[in-house]
Amino acid sequence: MDFLLKPFQYDFFCRAMMVGIMVGLLCGVMGVYITTRRMSYIAHGLSHAILGGAVITYVLGLNFYVGSGIWGFGAALLIQYLTGRKIYSDAAIGIVTTASFALGVAIISSYRKFSQNFEAALFGNVLGVSPTDLWVVTGVTIVLLGLVFIFYRPLLFWCFDREVAQVQGVPVFAMDTLFALMLATLLVATLQVLGVTLIISAVVIPASIARLLSNHFGHMMMISGLLGAAISFAGIYLSYYLDIASGASVVLLSTLIFGLVLIWTRLQRRRKRHVPSLHPGHLPS
Amino acid sequence: MKSFVYLSLLALALAACRATPNNTVGSSNPTVSMVPTQTANSQKPLVVTTVAPLTNIVSNIAGDRIDVKGIIPEGTDSHTFEPRPSDTDILSKANLILVNGLNLEVPTEKLANATKPKNTEIFEMGGNTITQDQWMFDFSFPKEKGDPNPHLWVNPKYAEAYAKLAAQQLSILDPAGKAYYEANLKKYMQRLEDLDNVTREVVASIPLENRKLLTYHDSWAYWAREYGFQVIGAIQPSSFKEPSAQDVAKLIDQIKKAKVPAIFGSEVYPSKVEEQIALEAKVKTANTADDELPGDGGSANALENTNPQHTYIGMMANNLRIISIGLGGNPKLVDKLVTANVVGPTAIATKSAK
Amino acid sequence: MEALLEVKNLTCGYQSDPVFTGVNLALYPGQLSGLVGPSGCGKSTLIRAMLGLVHPWQGEIIAQGKRLKLGTSPPKVGYVPQVETVDWNFPVTAEEVVMMGRYGHHKFSPWSSRRDRLVARELLDRVGIAHVAHQPIGDLSGGQQQRVFLARALVGEPDLVLLDEPTSGSDLHVQHELLHLLAELSQQGLSILLSTHDLNSVATHLPWVVCFNHGLVCQGEPAEVFTPAILRQTFGAEMLVLRQAERILISSDATTLLHELKNNLPQALRPNRSKSA
């Protein structure tokens, strides 16, 4: 038993766990909106765009959360605007987000005195979570979950059918802005835990697993959130014993679970199929 | 999604292009800067160095007879530093290239090999200072990986060896200046001797049980060996990545067991993990430097430098202060050390520290 | 009688060329009208412009006497979009979709009220899909999906409903049921505008038609409006019109006309065939 509890003796590990669980929960819940709105590509691009913001924030000497948050929010709005036009929207998004990312890289390479950990930005460093970070993530979790709860009905309508939602009284532009803000906040707060390259998996995979298991939006959200939290917990825990990077451990575990659930649901579906017997005298229905 | 893939591939291709050296620059001027120029010629020979401490040491010997240019900017990670196109230009004109070697600056050395003029030599200071049996392997540079710890210059005794080698190489390049270089060497050696003496005093002032070092990046191996310190660990694993959860747990245990009062990070590797380790192990943390010279607005090149703190000796003096504060020694012992260069604007008459 | 929704001199487009110009149209309470025209003539755009979903280049939209601001939608209007525009993979059931339409009734509560559920169920019953209320929308047939949307539009208790091609892709039987339902609703006071390019199954059965082709051609009762001249202007082709008692049949060639004649025969006049399910 001691062996199993050993990592929890360490403060850094407990903090990593708590942040990881909250991030997993949040990304799972928000991921349902992102996957059902077919925004996964946008979210991925946005996480790269935020890197540009983070770099500029550093160069200007601003607070990381504030500066990156504003930049990320701006990028999210720009992307919302571009998505409104149906023509070549994915290319436009690709340009905006890679340009922002490249701006970050260019500044890093030319600023020469850049001394922030680029690698942590890419892959996350949940082990370096300070007590302040823990408070920030806790605050963000409470706020975002609160917003999801309060605006559940309009966000659902907006997500499913934006045009009819507008006609039936949902303030869709406000929802656009709200969601952009929520997404930017989510990414900035979780950037440190999973890093730019891995965030997308936390957002997409638990929601995708939940989709396999449920047809109800509300249920999906609950399953996705809990699953995200549980996978984070297990992933970080396993990373200790397997001695591998925590972020990667979480991603690999979630992919594994996705694969298993996919296979299981396929088998279930096959079992449920019943072919009507062609008995003479019966007309096929 | 497809366009995103294409754009990324394009970005990758562009980055790869940037990394490969521009061969046309080097090969298109076969006659320029091949033969060591005479001092009568208005063009001074160009010696290219890498990290700032190296640049500083070499420029102290070279004085105003030779142009010394260091291409790795201060405070950059020399192990992964990728030179820019403007560096290619400098390398293609070099008469001599002095590097630390021992795989400290692999990308830079590769570029140097590709762009330097044919007759220009690349001389490895580190490789010529110690023999293979003197190589040290440790936490960041484990024996299994084959590469020894390259941070020789942190040890003032090896810095002295570097200064001697510099004088030797510069004399070969410019025989007419040999006496000049020897004179500079003598002055500089005096300063380095003073540094060595002060170091021993500072070490003596630190309680025996505190003479242990746990740093982020393992750059203190040779210094520790010289002055009787024990390097108990390094936070950065040998792959230069972030440490894993188990690594962090082990380090915390180690720090607690060793009962050191402080651990030391580096500004080159700002690390949140290091902060959390220090927080949990309840030790102080401060940053030392091994390739960044202290003080603003100075230059590693002695001839251009106006800040007397901004030198190799200044860097080591700062380190001694930080280490002694952290481990319970007397930082004031460092104050009497003259950190200025022996040539250039900051040069003053050498006074012995004694 | 004041118009529920009116457009004056409306011109709309997406890129450089306008899709329609100078449209003047008013919709009155209790009116059931069809917006008739060929594919791509701007019917969908007109409907979406009236709903505030497309910014007009010129002209104005007046809802309940007030000028509609850009980017807003007229109040108490329902919209049934084309079936193709919806994401059928979305994880919601028929009932949940209908309940979305109740948003306008209490905007600040995160959950639906009991009355919401009651009204939703009533409507599902009314449109004839109560038995599939708990099924995910992806499992429904085309006709059922259409009716889910109609129920959603109606659940908000609107005064006017705009439907975009509600009968396309459905078989005749489903179409007729829908038209019956719409007729009932209009008799109860609801104003309805539906667009269609199908003349014989739909347009000729409606009490009022608006002929449209990148602009308003003509509007009136089918008997007045469906003349070869107007049809030529609307559809850009020569059409044959056959009037038989209360019915009008239209086609561009005689063979098809005869075919339509057979198809449109009332039940009693059909040759004997086994009943299809």
Inter-residue contact B198 to B246 (CB < 8 Å) = no
Nearest CA to A21 out of A202, A187, A185 is that of A202
Out of A90, A112, A239, closest to residue B245 by CB: A239
Tokens 């062609």, residue located:
A278
Tell me the chain B residues in contact with residue A45 when contact means C-beta distances shorter than 8 Å.
Answer: 4
Pick the closest to residue A12 from B275, B105, B193, C259 (CA basis).
Answer: B275
Q: What's at A83, amino acid-wise?
A: T
| The pLDDT of residue A143 is above 60 | yes
Name the band, by pLDDT with cuts 50, 70 and 90, for residue A257: very high
The interface residues of chain C toward chain A in range 80-99, judged by CB-CB distance below 8 A, are 81, 85-87, 90-93, 96-97
Chains A and C touch (3+ CB pairs under 8 A): yes
Interchain pair A112, B76: CB under 8 A: yes
* Chain A hits for C91, Cβ within 8 Å: 36, 211, 214-217, 220
Note whether C111 contacts A152, CB cutoff 8 Å. Answer: yes
Interface test with A, best of C14, C79, C113 (most A CBs within 10 A): C79
Question: What distance in Å separates residue A47's CA from the closest CA in chain B?
Answer: 14
| Tokens at B8, concatenated | 């990324």
Q: Which residue of B has its CA nearest to A94?
A: B4
DSSP chain C: ---SEEEEEEEEESSSSEEEEEEEEEE-TT-EEEEE--TTSSHHHHHHHHTTSS--SEEEEEETTEEPPTT---TTEEEE--GGGS-TTSS-BHHHHHHHGGGGG-TT-SS--HHHHHHHHHHHHHHT-GGGTTSBGGGS-HHHHHHHHHHHHHHT--SEEEEESTTTT--HHHHHHHHHHHHHHHHTT-EEEEEES-TTTTGGGSSEEEEESSSEEEEE-HHHH--HHHHHHHHSS--EEEEETTEEEEESSHHHHHHHHHHTS-GGGSPP-PPP-
Q: Which of B76, B276, B287 to mutate to test the interface with A (most CBs of A within 10 A)?
A: B276
Q: Which residue has the tokens 């656009």?
A: A176
Residue B123: strand, helix, or coil: strand
Closest partner CB to B7 (pick from A94, A117, A245): A94
CA-nearest residue to A132 within chain B is B276
What torsion do the CA atoms of C209, C213, C218, C222 make, to the nearest 10 degrees?
-30
Q: Which of C53, C73, C100 lies closest to A156 in CB terms?
A: C100
Q: What is the dihedral of CA A50, A51, A55, A56, to 10 degrees?
A: -30
Amino acid letter, residue C253 = D
DSSP strand E in chain B: where? 46-49, 67-70, 96-99, 121-124, 212-215, 230-234, 262-266, 284-288
Quick check: do B and C touch, 3+ CB pairs under 8 A? no
Separation in Å, CA of A149 to nearest CA in chain B: 32
How far is the C-alpha of B187 from the C-alpha of B349, rounded, in Å? 9
Q: Does B254 touch chain A (CB under 8 A)?
A: no
> d(Cα C220, Cα C209) in Å, to the nearest integer?
6
Which residues numbered 164-193 in C keep a CB inside 8 Å of some CB on A?
none
> Tens digits of per-residue pLDDT, A191-223?
877 887 788 889 999 999 999 999 899 999 999
* Predicted complex: ipTM over 0.90: no
Residue among A12, A116, A117 minimizing CB distance to B280: A12
Question: Taking the model in full, what pTM does it have?
Answer: 0.79
Could you give the 3-state DSSP secondary structure of residue B68?
A: strand
Tens of pLDDT, residue by residue, chain B (354 residues): 555 555 656 655 554 444 444 333 333 333 333 344 444 445 788 999 999 999 999 999 998 899 999 988 887 778 877 777 788 888 888 999 999 988 888 888 888 888 888 888 899 998 888 888 888 888 778 888 888 888 999 999 999 999 999 999 999 999 999 999 999 999 999 999 999 999 999 999 999 989 999 988 888 989 999 999 998 888 887 666 778 888 889 889 989 998 889 999 887 777 888 889 999 999 998 988 888 888 877 888 888 888 888 899 999 999 999 999 999 889 998 988 888 888 888 886 444 443
Residue C28 backbone dihedrals phi, psi, to 5 degrees: -110, 160
C12–A contact, CB cutoff 8 A: no
Residue of chain A nearest B249, judged by CA positions: A10
- Cα gap A115→A111, rounded to integer Å: 9
Lowest mean pLDDT among A88-92, C3-7, C16-20, C60-64: A88-92
Kindly report, residue by residue over C92-127, the tens digit of the pLDDT.
999 999 999 888 777 777 777 888 888 899 999 988
Closest CA to A46 of A182, A210, A207: A182
Answer yes or no: are the C-beta atoms of B114 and B192 closer than 8 Å. Answer: no
Query: CB distance from A277 to chain B under 8 Å?
Result: no
**CB neighbours of B17 closer than 8 A, spacing ≥ 6?**
none
The residue count for chain A: 285
Backbone angles phi, psi at A87, to 5 degrees: -95, 125
Query: Is residue A268 less than 8 Å (CB to CB) from chain B?
Result: no
Q: Are A129 and B279 in contact (CB under 8 A)?
A: no
Give the position of tokens 């750059």.
B219
Q: List pLDDT tens digits, range A69-122.
A: 888 888 888 777 776 655 456 777 787 788 888 887 787 777 655 556 666 677
Please name the chains neighbouring C, where neighbouring means 3+ C-beta pairs under 8 angstroms: A
